[in-house]
């Protein structure tokens, strides 16, 4: 296994059309474990949020204090308020109909929460147990990626990855859905590297630490809420990072669809990716 199993391309058998091993086993196992875990964490987290759908900055925050974000209902109408800006969200947030057609006044709708019927205790049961799978699998994957060279070979950036001109060109190429073809296709481009590093080494750890910062028991062992500006700030950052992860997920899925969903999904299941032959004269 020492030679080649990442985006580093290794040719397998018949060269036409070329098939390369793109993703290591550890990457594939973690990817799908993490995908399922994050889905459960997000949906059970929304159930927990429904118990108190207001966010604050600082150490404390309750109904009498000023909330910077609030999802609620006034009369028949649901709303989302961020700072001074308010939008009506009837049907989706704040006030909506459940699967049986009953009108409910809760922040996130039944189809976005685990369990689907309001239960703070149920949401916590799912959230806090899957938190172990989430944190332990992420840690194992980080260590594995450090040891097997995935980090160094595939994710580490050099100066060119950060050059604004280069990044801007990649942004334009992505927006036009023009993707790298041929030999360079299996390698991560700069935007991919930066977003994967941002997710794996910044956002996901931030979810773990802001989560722990909300725990009164953990606070007595290691008071880290202060580092985030207080417990309610940690809760706000936890929520904002969750939204950012959903944003990443949407772009991620859009890119998979645009780049060829069957080939891309297969490469994350079997590890193997088919490389389109390069058209003569086309820039790779």
Partner 1 sequence: MSILSRRDTLVRAGQAGLVAGAAGLLAGCDALDRSPRFRKILSLGEDMHRHSQRLLQDRDALATEYSSDDLSPVFRSNGTRLPDSADYAAQAANKFVDWRIAVTGLVARPLSLSLADIRSGPQRTQITRHDCVEGWSAIGQWTGMPLHRVLAAAGIRDTARYIVFRCADRFGDTPYYESIDLVDALHPQTLLAWRLNGAALPIANGAPVRLRVERQLGYKHAKYVNAIEAVASLGGIGRGMGGYWEDASNYEWYAGI
**Where does this chain bind partner 1 (CB under 8 A)?**
39-40, 43, 48-49, 51-52, 54, 59-65, 110-111, 114-117, 119-122, 124-126, 128-132, 214-223, 225-226, 231-232, 235, 261
For residues 218 and 241, what is the distance between their CA atoms, to the nearest angstrom? 21
The least distance separating partner 1 from the CB of residue 149, rounded to whole angstroms, comes to: 31
| Closer by beta carbon to partner 1, 180 or else 215 | 215
Q: What sign results for the dihedral spanned by CA atoms 184, 190, 192, 197?
A: positive
Tokens linked to 96: 């909506």
CB of 212 to partner 1, least distance (A): 8
Gap between the Cα atoms of 94 and 85, Å rounded:
15
Cis preceding linkage at 161, omega within 30: no
Residue placing its CB nearer to partner 1 in the complex, 73 or 234: 234
CA distances from 216 to 198, 208, 212, 213, 219 (A): 28, 15, 9, 8, 5
CB of 77 to partner 1, least distance (A): 23
- In the bound state with partner 1, the residue whose beta carbon lies nearer, of 45 and 78, is 45
Sign for the pseudo-dihedral over CA of 60, 64, 66, 67: positive
Provide the minimum distance between the beta carbon of 248 and partner 1 in the complex, in angstroms, as a whole number: 18
**Least distance between partner 1 and beta carbon 41 (Å):** 12
Q: Distance between CA atoms of 200 and 207, rounded to whole angstroms?
A: 11
Longest dimension (CA), the chain: 69
Beta bridge partners of 77: 74
Q: How far is the CB of 175 from partner 1 (least distance, A)?
A: 20
Describe the strand order of the beta sheet including 77-82 as a list of residue ranges: 54-55, 69-74, 77-82, 85-88
**174 versus 238: smaller Cβ distance to partner 1:** 238
3-state secondary structure of 228: helix
Asked if residue 14 lies in contact with residue 7, where contact means CB atoms within 8 angstroms, the answer is: no
Nearer to partner 1, 40 or 197 (CB): 40
Q: Is there a contact between 97 and 110 (Cβ–Cβ < 8 Å)? A: no
Which residue, 125 or 244, has its beta carbon nearer to partner 1?
125
Between 83 and 223, whose beta carbon lies closer to partner 1?
A: 223
Task: Considering the complex, state which of residue 75 and residue 101 has its C-beta at the smaller distance from partner 1.
Answer: 101
At CA 130, angle to CA 261 and CA 220, rounded to 5? Answer: 135
CB 47 within 8 A of CB 114: yes
CB of 230 to partner 1, least distance (A): 8
Minimal distance, residue 208 CB to partner 1, in Å: 12
């Amino acid at each position: 296994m020492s030679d080649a199993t990442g985006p580093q391309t290794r040719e397998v058998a018949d060269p036409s059309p070329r098939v390369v091993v793109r993703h290591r086993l550890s990457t594939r196992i973690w990817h799908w474990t993490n995908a399922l875990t994050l889905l459960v964490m997000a949906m059970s987290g929304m159930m927990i949020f429904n118990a108190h759908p207001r966010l604050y900055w600082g150490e404390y925050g309750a109904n009498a204090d000023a909330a910077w974000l609030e999802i609620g209902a006034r009369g028949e109408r649901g709303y989302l308020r961020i700072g001074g800006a308010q939008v009506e969200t009837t049907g989706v947030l704040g006030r909506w109909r459940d699967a049986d057609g009953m009108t409910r006044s809760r922040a996130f709708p039944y189809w976005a929460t685990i369990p689907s019927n309001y239960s703070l205790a149920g949401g916590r049961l799912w959230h806090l147990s899957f938190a172990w799978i989430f944190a332990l699998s992420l840690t194992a994957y980080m260590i594995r990626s450090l040891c097997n060279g995935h980090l160094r070979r595939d994710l580490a950036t050099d100066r060119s990855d950060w050059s604004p001109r280069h990044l801007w060109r990649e942004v334009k190429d992505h927006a036009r859905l023009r993707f790298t073809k041929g030999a360079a296709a299996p390698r991560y481009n700069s935007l991919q590297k930066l977003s994967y590093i941002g997710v794996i080494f910044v956002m996901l750890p931030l979810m773990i630490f802001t989560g722990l910062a909300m725990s009164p028991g953990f606070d007595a062992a290691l008071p880290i809420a202060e580092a985030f500006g207080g417990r309610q700030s940690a809760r706000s950052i936890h929520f904002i990072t969750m939204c950012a992860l959903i944003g990443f997920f949407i772009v991620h899925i859009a890119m998979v669809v645009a780049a060829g969903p069957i080939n891309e999904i297969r490469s994350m299941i079997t590890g193997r990716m088919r490389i389109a032959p390069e058209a003569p004269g086309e820039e790779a």
